[in-house]
Homo-oligomer: A and B are copies of this chain.
């Protein structure tokens, strides 16, 4: 994904090919959010007017860079995990024995595939929190970009969570998704936090 041209990647996303899909879109949205955090930090660091926030901005910059690169890695992990799911669905189910084996493979693959969007959601939640942390000390000319970072990260968060929900709903044995469902519920509280952060930052723009 790192080396792929934007136009070609969007063409692939738009196609019916199994990957890239929603998981990769979530990861890219998270990466866009992280990059916007970095941009704001870069526009703030070293300016005398914002000297009091210099340490915070440097710390946020380093963290956002790490998150951005990790987001792209998650997009690749999502494609691999989703490949295992589609492989499992393609297994034969002509006999009761085959159907049982296939359901078990689907179960295992879906649980593995749910791990990736859960991590993407957590990462996106952290980008939203970074936006909230830098909002007060950011270069005022870049405040709109702090809001933009939070909006992108929220889209990543929601996209990842809806993928988690779809995977859990598709489990052949739904009784065995408990731990994932709990983690999903935990991550979902980040959506409300994102909402509050975005509203607070937007309130600062243009004032």
Contacts and interface: CB of A to CB of B under 8 A. Distances in A.
A202 interface: yes
B16 A39 contact: yes
A52 interface: no
Contacts of A165: 144, 202, 205-206
Interface stretch (A19-27, A92-100, A102-110): A19-27
Contacts of A79: none
Contact of A155 (B42, B152, B207): B152
A29 B152 contact: yes
A7 interface: yes
Contacts of A155: 29, 151-152, 154-155
7 closest A-B pairs by beta carbon, nearest first, are: A169-B206, A2-B7, A155-B155, A14-B38, A144-B166, A16-B42, A148-B159
20 contacts: A3-B5, A4-B6, A6-B28, A6-B72, A10-B32, A10-B68, A11-B35, A14-B35, A14-B38, A16-B39, A29-B29, A29-B152, A147-B158, A148-B158, A148-B159, A151-B159, A151-B162, A158-B202, A162-B202, A165-B202
